[in-house]
Structures are given as structure tokens and as C-alpha cells.
């Protein structure tokens, strides 16, 4: 095949109606992969992630920039009939329409899958919701911690003697990542069959998919419960306090060879041949003793040095990283997993890049920062939809473009 340039999804256009975190993260991934993503907003009802929420204990909206970067922004009032008509024209010029309202809202707006198929028969419509497009709970509103609670991940996570644990934004973004995957799969299907599809991603089902091994076991009668950092088949396995304040070392020993290597590193080589710890099952049975031995050593080490030493011996180890560590890591920077984004005001900020590298395409990533509300209307309404300056002025006047 002749080499060509571009990012993996160059040439794909997305009409993006998503709000909050999960839906926008989906289109954010697709945008980094090269899709042209048009974020549709309205001054009348801003994406609620553009505004602050005091319940998080912060004054500003600290969650919008990452997922909005790279996208084009247009204002469009979907409460206005002409706004809906314009939305349909935008969809007709797109490959994908993505949304994350409660199930049924797009239909009520006149933008349901059937409506969109009328203007674009092979449209791939991606709907991200808390509980899916069908089923008795499909009208439920939800946020990440609720997805985790419904889907079982929350119940299964926690200290053995403690309560369940709430999932935070990683839960939303897992939903978005799965939605991005399903969207690209639907494009493959369109390429093969000529047909579009309505992709339904239920956040609670993403949560349950992430606990799928436990659910599969439970369906056969195995009792699954919270077990903190313990692993049923590995010891030592956990987080160990280093000599530095709040600097923890994660260690997981799977094999007997790794155990033998570890005993050398921690200065207890005699334990390598100690029958009490001879194999994984024995070490798991003596977990508390094994953990104590490692903890006694870890309390005197510098965490990063210890992790490197353990890795050199082939033992799975890593410091429990803070955002600061991620921001400063040369490995992540070299991979483009952490990047610097230029804002229109000339400022720079750190952001997360795409989590893979491609040898045969231009690198995915962020070319632009956060769009201003309606920043790209001339291109989208003018060039893509062919609306003249006077038409656009009239639509602004009538609060259709608003």
C-alpha cells in the first residue's frame, strides 16, 4: 500500500454533543487519533464541566481543558427548531455523532438515531449514558461513583474490614475509552457493510466489565469480597512505606525466583531456602510474616532507588506516583504520554497525550488547546455547511447560533 500521511483517523469528522466527562473523553481520544471533532455547545446551557462545582472543594472548573483540547467549538441552541435543523446538517456532514445525554433526550430534541439516519443513512451514533439506552433504569442519571457502585467495582474495592470505595474520574474516562473503541469498530463495520449503527455504551456496564472476572466467579457460586491490597496468589504483594513521608513502594512477587532475588536485596538470603516460604502458596499462607519482613526493610530505603534495584532483579516494583512524578517523568515525556499544550493566549500547560505510539502514521496527540466557546464557527458553519456571512449573522441574531 502506498504510504500516506495523517493521523490514524484523519478524515473522520465527529459532531460532538457530549457533555461532562465520559462522553467528552471518548471524542477526546478520537480527536487525538486525528478525527475532526466539532464540540457543540450553547451559552444557554454550557457543558457543566466548563463551570465549577463546590462539592469537589475547588473554586474553578479544573476538569474541562484536558478533554476539550484539540476540539473545534461552535455554539448551537438545540432548544430552537432552527438549531435542531442546523445540528442535522452538521450530522449530515459528519461520520460520527456522539452524545451523552440521558437516554431519550436526543429523541426529544429531534436528534434521535432514526432522525439522524434520515439525514445521514450510514451515521455512526455513539450514545454514552449511565445505564444504557434500554432497560428499566435507562432514565437514571449518574456520575462516576454511581457507575462504580452499580457495576460492582465499588463493592469489591476496599480494605477487607472497611466500606466500599467510590470510583472517581478514572471511571468516567474508562467509559470514554471503551466508547472510543466501539466507535472505531462501528466505523469498520460501516466500511465493510455500508451501514451505520447506534453504539450504546452504558457506564455501569463498563464498571461491571472491569470487575468481570469476579462476576464470572460469583456466577458459579464463588464468594467474592473486598481484600485490600492482598492478592490470592502472590505474597509479598502490597504497598510498603519507605523512609520518606507518604512515599510508598508497590511490590508484587509472583515466582520463587523473584522471591529468592528479593531475599537477597532485603538482606535476608536465608529466607530463600526457608521452607515456610518455599512457594507462592506457602508465602500467601504466611502473608503477614512475609509482609512484615519486607516492610521492615522498606522502612529504611529511598523509594525510587529501591524500585530501580528491584526492577534490575526482575521484580515487579514501582513507587506510588503522585501527579508530580508523572509530570516530571522522562519516560512518559519521551513516549508522548504526557505533552505540553499551547493555549491561544500563548500559555502552556501539561496534558495527557494518546496512550500508544504508531510507526506508520503521524503521531496522535494535541495540536491545540481549549477552544473558546464558538471559536470555530466560521470554519464549521461557513466552510463545512456553506452558510454565508449574512445567514450566520441572522442565526446569531435569532439566538440559533447562541
Partner 1 sequence: MQQDTPLAGIRVVEHAAGVAGAWAGRLLAAMGAEVIMVEPPTLCPLRKEAPLFANGESALFEYVAAGKRSVVCDLETAVGRDVLAALLDTAQILIDDTPLQQRPQWGLDREGVAARHPDLVHLSVLPFGASGPKAGWTASEINLIHAGGEGYLLPNGLSAHLFPDRPPLKIAGHFAELQGGVAAALSALSALWFGTGQFVDASVQDANVAVGAFALQRYGDGSIEHRHTRSFRYGGVIECRDGYVELLTLEERQWQGLVHLMDDPEWARDEELNDPVTRSERGDAINAAIRAWAREHDVEELVARAQKLGVPMARYNTPEQILTGGHETARGTFQDVDVPGVGEVKIQAAPFRFSEAPLALSAAAPAPGADQDLVTSGAAAASRAGAAARTATA
217-236 residues near partner 1, rule: CB under 8 A: 217-222, 224, 226-229, 231-234
For position 365 contacting partner 1 by CB under 8 A, the verdict is: no
Instruction: State the nearest-atom distance from the C-beta of 46 to partner 1, in Å.
Output: 13
The CA-based dihedral angle spanning residues 80, 85, 87, 93, taken in that order and rounded to the nearest 10 degrees: -170
- Is the CB of 43 or the CB of 170 nearer to partner 1? 170
In this chain, which stretch among 70-78, 81-89, 237-245, 386-394 interacts with partner 1, using CB under 8 A?
Answer: 237-245
245 binding partner 1? (CB under 8 A): no
Which listed residue (45, 56, 257, 389) binds partner 1 by CB under 8 A? 56
Nearer to partner 1, 240 or 381 (CB): 240
392 closest CA partner among 401, 402, 383, 380 = 401
Decide whether 227 or 292 has the Cβ nearer to partner 1: 227
262-301 residues near partner 1, rule: CB under 8 A:
none
Q: Is 149 in the site for partner 1 (CB under 8 A)?
A: yes
Nearer to partner 1, 97 or 187 (CB): 187
Considering the rule CB under 8 A, would residue 73 count as an interface residue with partner 1?
A: no
Centre a 10 Å sphere on the Cβ of residue 164 and count the other Cβ atoms it contains. Answer: 16
**Within positions 80 to 139, which residues make up the interface with partner 1, using CB under 8 A?**
131-138
Alpha-carbon span 376 to 74, nearest angstrom: 6
Question: Could you give the CA distance from residue 298 to residue 306 in angstroms, rounded to a whole number?
Answer: 8
Which of 177, 265, 266, 384 contacts partner 1 by CB under 8 A?
177
Cis peptide before 236 (omega within 30 of 0): yes
Helical ranges in 194-211 per DSSP H: 203-210
Cα–Cα distances (Å) from 207 to 126, 157, 198, in that order, read 18, 12, 21
**Least distance from partner 1 to the Cβ atom of residue 74, Å:** 24
Rounded CA separation 199/127 (Å)? 6
Identified binder of partner 1 from the candidate list 31, 42, 174, 263, rule CB under 8 A: 174
Q: What are the E-state strand segments in 254-343?
A: 316-319, 338-342
Whose CA is closest to 391, among 89, 162, 29, 121? 89
For position 166 contacting partner 1 by CB under 8 A, the verdict is yes
Query: Which is it for strands 248-252 and 237-241: parallel, antiparallel or unpaired?
Result: antiparallel
* Cβ atoms 226, 158 nearer than 8 A: yes
Site string for partner 1, 323-362 (x = CB under 8 A): xxxxx--xxx-xx-xx----------xxxxxxxxxxxxx-
Of 123, 186, 380, 387, the residue at the interface with partner 1 (CB under 8 A) is: 186
Q: Tell whether residue 244 is a contact of partner 1 (CB under 8 A).
A: no
Minimum Å gap between C-beta 363 and partner 1 is 11
Helical axes 203-210 vs 212-219, angle rounded to 10°:
80
Residues 6+ apart with CB under 8 A from 385: 86, 89, 90, 93
Among 81, 114, 118, 216, binds partner 1 (CB under 8 A): 216
Pick the closer one to partner 1 by CB: 233 or 279: 233
First to last CA, the chain: 45
State whether residue 220 is helix, strand or coil. Answer: coil
- Identify which range of 83-91, 103-111, 168-176, 392-400 contacts partner 1 by CB under 8 A: 168-176
Of the two residues 43 and 227, which places its CB atom closer to partner 1 in the complex?
227
Amino acid at each position: 500500500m502506498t504510504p500516506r500521511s495523517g493521523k490514524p483517523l484523519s478524515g473522520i469528522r465527529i459532531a460532538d454533543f457530549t457533555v461532562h466527562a465520559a462522553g467528552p473523553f471518548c471524542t477526546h481520544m478520537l480527536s487525538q487519533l486525528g478525527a475532526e471533532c466539532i464540540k457543540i455547545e450553547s451559552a444557554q446551557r454550557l457543558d457543566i464541566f466548563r463551570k465549577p462545582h463546590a462539592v469537589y472543594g475547588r473554586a474553578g472548573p479544573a476538569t474541562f481543558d484536558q478533554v476539550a483540547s484539540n476540539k473545534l467549538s461552535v455554539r448551537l441552541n438545540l432548544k430552537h427548531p432552527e438549531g435542531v435543523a442546523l445540528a442535522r446538517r452538521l450530522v449530515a456532514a459528519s461520520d460520527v455523532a456522539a452524545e451523552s445525554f440521558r437516554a431519550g433526550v436526543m429523541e426529544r430534541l429531534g436528534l434521535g438515531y432514526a432522525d439522524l439516519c434520515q439525514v445521514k443513512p450510514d451515521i455512526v451514533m455513539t450514545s454514552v449514558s449511565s445505564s444504557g439506552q434500554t432497560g428499566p433504569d435507562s432514565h437514571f442519571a449518574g456520575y462516576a461513583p454511581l457507575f462504580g457502585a452499580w457495576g460492582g467495582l465499588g463493592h469489591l474495592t476496599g480494605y477487607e474490614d472497611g466500606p466500599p470505595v467510590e470510583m472517581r474520574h478514572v471511571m468516567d474516562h474508562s467509559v470514554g475509552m471503551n466508547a472510543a473503541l466501539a466507535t472505531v469498530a462501528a466505523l469498520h463495520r460501516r466500511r465493510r457493510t455500508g451501514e451505520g449503527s447506534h453504539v450504546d455504551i452504558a457506564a455501569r456496564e463498563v464498571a461491571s466489565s472491569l470487575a468481570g472476572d469476579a462476576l464470572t466467579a460469583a456466577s458459579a457460586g464463588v464468594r467474592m469480597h473486598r481484600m485490600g491490597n492482598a492478592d490470592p496468589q502472590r505474597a509479598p504483594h502490597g504497598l510498603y512505606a519507605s523512609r520518606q513521608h507518604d512515599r510508598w513502594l508497590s511490590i508484587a512477587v509472583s515466582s520463587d525466583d523473584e522471591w529468592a532475588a528479593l531475599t537477597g536485596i532485603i538482606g535476608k538470603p536465608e529466607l530463600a531456602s526457608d521452607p515456610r516460604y518455599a512457594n507462592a502458596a506457602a508465602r500467601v499462607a504466611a502473608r503477614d510474616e512475609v509482609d512484615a519482613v519486607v516492610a521492615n526493610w522498606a522502612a529504611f530505603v529511598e523509594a525510587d532507588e529501591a524500585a530501580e534495584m528491584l526492577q534490575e532483579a526482575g521484580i515487579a516494583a514501582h513507587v506510588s506516583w503522585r501527579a508530580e512524578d508523572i509530570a516530571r517523568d522522562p519516560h512518559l515525556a519521551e513516549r508522548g504520554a504526557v505533552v505540553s499544550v499551547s493555549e491561544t493566549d500563548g500559555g502552556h500547560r501539561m496534558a495527557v497525550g494518546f496512550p500508544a505510539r504508531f510507526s506508520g502514521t503521524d503521531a496522535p496527540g494535541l495540536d491545540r488547546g481549549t477552544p473558546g466557546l464558538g471559536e470555530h464557527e466560521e470554519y464549521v458553519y461557513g466552510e463545512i455547511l456553506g452558510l454565508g456571512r449574512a445567514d450566520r449573522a441572522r442565526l446569531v441574531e435569532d439566538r440559533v447560533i447562541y
